[in-house]
Structure formats: structure tokens, C-alpha cells
Chain A
């Protein structure tokens, strides 16, 4: 079994309203040195698969097809044995 940890986040050029809200909230809590906050999604997919290379290909397809919208988002992932 392989575990893919996938991070989906907005592209740098896209404004991130939830991130801005958290930034303002952190500042109001006194963390004034916080410069920027970006929010994203963390998705874990367990694969009944032993071949890491094959899993990488599949996870890339999953990201490009469904998990990420390439118009506004980017992704990265780590694959490890579970």
C-alpha cells in the first residue's frame, strides 16, 4: 500500500481571500511579523499499489484531472509506503 500526500494550493497570481482573512487575524493576535498567508488543501490518497513510479503517474493524472484546477491552482505530492 502506498500513501500519496497531495497539497493543492492557489497559484501565486491568484488572490486568496481566506489567506488574507487569516493574515489579518494573525496580525490582530499580535503576530505582526506575518507577511503573507496562503491557504490550500491537503488530500491523502491510499493506493493499492507497490510501484512508486506507477503511483506517481497515477497521482499526477488524479491531480490534473480532478483534484486541482490548473486555471487557478498548483499541486505537489509525496509518496511513501504505508
Chain B
């Protein structure tokens, strides 16, 4: 398996992702520079968290126009797996590879905490090793994670089972009290209709080792490998 981690100016979770793929799940991984402009020969591309281009203007808005992005769009349109974590998720919505947008958290605070998340769709290349409705614990760290989308698109997304992760409490309750940032329907992660592009605000790469206190995020990366091997 060959993973690629895109490095934008301002990415700060790129080496965490690289480390997890290389040292924790022992697969091949390479960094991809933001101005790389050749066909992407990878099995899975990771857009890591951070503050690409300082998030000036809007989170992800400038990164979306990096030279590598048309290559990633081409890769995704050909069925390649793309996962965007936090700022990577914001870049994926800005580039319309995923629907909706991410605005300022409802309480205006930058939130950095552990958060329970429910895996509401386990039939994706990214979540197939979780049980349906399993409650997992993932760290969140963002100021603009408040997911918004128009009603018609939301209904489409529900129909196509594009909602993958929702914020909840440890018993799996999904309501306003268990919503850290104000996201519509407590959405923490979504995929595209074809299920090969996935964006999420929580950081699975920060919860992939016992040493860091929790391994719940590791199965996202293992699910990707499981999917690729069974394809």
C-alpha cells in the first residue's frame, strides 16, 4: 500500500499522519509537496490538519487552489481514496469534493478536547472495521468545525448515507448537549456519494497509539488497508 500525505504551507499534522502510517501500521508513505503537479500514483491520499496558508480569508480557501489540488480532484474522480482531517476536511469542502462548509464554532472557542463520536456508517472504505453505531473516543482541536449545509443537500446526504460520524456522549446520545461546535445534526465526518472521499474534524492520527492514551482512531487507517486489500 502506498500512502501520500500532502504538505501545504501551514500543515502541522502532516508528520503525525506520516508517523502513524509508517511506524504504527507499517505501510509505505511519502510526503507530497503542495506544488506537486504530476499524476498521483498512490493508494490513499491524506490531507492533514493544520492551518494551510494561515487560513487567511477562510479555512482551506487558499489551499484549494494549490497546484496539487487538480491532481487530487483527478485522483478522487478516478475512485482513489482521499481522507481530509480537520483542515484537510475544510480544504475538501472548499474544493467541492465534499458538500457543505465549515464555519466558526458556535461558542467561538478553539476547542481542544477528547470527544465521543458515533460511527453511524460503517460501510465505507474508512470505517469498515468499526461496528455500526459504535461509540469511539477521538480528540478534536479546531476553531472552525461548525458544519453547515443547505437543507436540500442535507436530505440528499441522509438518503445516500453520507453522514459517517456524529458527535455524541459516551452512551451514544446525539443532541445539542453533545455537540461541541454547533454542527448541523452533530456532524463530525462525512463522505461523498461514491464513498471514496472522507472528511472529518476529529484527529484519528492523534489517537492511534496506546502511548497517547487511546487507539480508537487507528481503525480508520486499518479500515483503509482492509478495503484496499479486499478490492
Taking beta carbons and an 8 Å cutoff, which residues of A are in contact with B?
A: 10, 13-15, 17-18, 21, 41, 66-67, 69, 71-72
Residue of A nearest to B65 (CB): A66
The answer to whether the Cβ of B149 comes within 8 Å of any Cβ in the partner chain is: yes
Q: Scoring B residues 32 to 63 as 1 if CB is less than 8 Å from chain A, else 0, what string do you get?
A: 00000000000000000000000001100110
Contact A67 B100, CB 8 Å, known A17-B105, A18-B108: no
Across the interface, do B61 and A17 meet the contact criterion of CB distance under 8 Å? no
**Which residues of B have CB within 8 Å of A66?**
57, 61-62, 65
A17-B108, A72-B103 known; 11 new pairs, CB 8 Å cut-off, are: A14-B103, A15-B106, A18-B104, A66-B61, A66-B65, A69-B58, A69-B101, A71-B93, A71-B148, A71-B149, A72-B101
User: Could you tell me the distance in whole angstroms from the C-beta of B223 to the nearest C-beta in chain A?
Assistant: 28
Cα A69 to Cα B57 with chains together (Å):
10
Across the interface, do A17 and B57 meet the contact criterion of CB distance under 8 Å? no
**Which residues of A have CB within 8 Å of B61?**
66, 69
User: Could you tell me the distance in whole angstroms from the C-beta of B148 to the nearest C-beta in chain A?
Assistant: 6
Residue of A nearest to B107 (CB): A17
The residue from B57, B93, B99, B148 contacting A67, defined by CB atoms under 8 A apart: B57
**Which residues of B have CB within 8 Å of A17?**
103-108, 146, 182
Residue of B nearest to A19 (CB): B104
**Which residues of A have CB within 8 Å of B101?**
69, 71-72
**Which residues of A have CB within 8 Å of B103?**
10, 14-15, 17, 72
Across the interface, do B182 and A71 meet the contact criterion of CB distance under 8 Å? no
Residue of A nearest to B94 (CB): A69
Q: Scoring B residues 187 to 215 as 1 if CB is less than 8 Å from chain A, else 0, what string do you get?
A: 00000000000000000000000000000
Contact A15 B57, CB 8 Å, known A71-B100, A71-B148: no
User: Could you tell me the distance in whole angstroms from the C-beta of B10 to the nearest C-beta in chain A?
Assistant: 17
User: Could you tell me the distance in whole angstroms from the C-beta of B77 to the nearest C-beta in chain A?
Assistant: 20
User: Could you tell me the distance in whole angstroms from the C-beta of B183 to the nearest C-beta in chain A?
Assistant: 11
Enumerate the 10 nearest inter-chain pairs by beta-carbon distance, A residue then B residue, closest first: A71-B101, A72-B101, A17-B104, A17-B108, A17-B106, A21-B108, A69-B101, A14-B148, A72-B148, A69-B58
User: Could you tell me the distance in whole angstroms from the C-beta of B74 to the nearest C-beta in chain A?
Assistant: 19
